[in-house]
Homo-oligomer: A and B are copies of this chain.
């Protein structure tokens, strides 16, 4: 299937409609933009002509004159990670409710050039605003500079807003606090944390929440493991590393930075003959699909991704005007692992 025939039948324009309705093209324009300024009889004539010709208003010409394309650019990370996808879809739906279309640009790595090239791409295409899904610090930093010249909303849990840039995110620290508090309430006192990659805002926020909660409760910090990524493989490695300390009673609970890490850890624990939650309690983060059906069903923290997507658009259209952070609270989901 090839792209537009080029020499296909030209779509009808306002002038065509005007001729058909025996009015001027300006009247046609008015019917579209300020219908009340047109006499009902004339309006109906024009509307009938539009229907007969199958007229469709040309967004390109409109954009040229109004200096607005009606396009919102969304920069989204390339990992199959879970959150960004859902936020992207939520952003699209929210934007469409405002009559805006959403253009996508995937950023596979976090090099500044990559982000900048996506930004350039959007600027070339004349987007009216940009939403940057920036879970990684370097991505967010690369996005900052562009905020001087364009409306940008940064979706990053923990980034600082600036004068020309609003930030929307999920309160990672709070989610981590609830997770750790839940472990404390269950009587656990030797609580480890398997952290995500340090260049991620989410990972940092969860470490911070873990530390704060333990410190506030006067409980010593358990071991802090650093995972190289967010996958179950990384979790398995961390679990294997932690297993001896669980076996010897030095650790009786783990707060995992996400559900896949939790899953991998539980796998490693099982391989070491350790049982969850008897030997070690586990709390994850995300509430991925199927988390309720793991064995045992995973206690975790659910993130309201859809709400973030909507909030990002609201911020973009709102009268916020920068220097402002919207933080949305996640929810602890209690199941069987803790």
Residues of A participating in the B interface, judged by any CB pair closer than 8 Å: 1-4, 6, 56-61, 63-64, 67-71, 74, 76, 78, 80, 82, 85-86, 88-89, 92-93, 96, 101-106, 108, 121-126, 128-129, 147, 150-153, 164-166, 231-233, 235-236, 259-260, 263-264, 266-267, 270, 288-290, 292-295, 297, 315-322
Contact = CB atoms under 8 A, between A and B. Distances in A.
Given A64-B60, A102-B104, A293 B126 contact: no
A78 B67 contact: no
B166 A1 contact: yes
Given A71-B103, A80-B86, A101-B103, A59 B4 contact: no
Given A58-B64, A103-B104, 11 more contacts: A1-B129, A1-B152, A1-B166, A1-B322, A70-B125, A71-B103, A78-B89, A78-B93, A232-B290, A264-B290, A264-B293
Nearest to A6: B67
7 contacts: A1-B129, A3-B316, A56-B124, A93-B106, A101-B105, A101-B121, A235-B293
A263 B294 contact: yes
A263 B290 contact: yes
A125 to B, nearest CB: 5
Given A59-B126, A293-B233, A293-B267, A1 B103 contact: no
Contacts of A316: 1-3
Contacts of A123: 56
A318 B86 contact: no
Given A123-B56, A290-B232, A129 B63 contact: no
A178 to B, nearest CB: 23
Interface majority SS (helix, strand, loop, mixed), chain A: mixed
Nearest to A54: B149
Contacts of A263: 290, 293-294
Contacts of A124: 56-57, 59
A82 B56 CA distance: 35
Given A58-B126, A104-B88, A125-B101, A164 B289 contact: no
A235 B263 CA distance: 19
A11 B78 CA distance: 31
Contacts of A85: 80, 85
A106 B106 CA distance: 17
Nearest to A166: B1
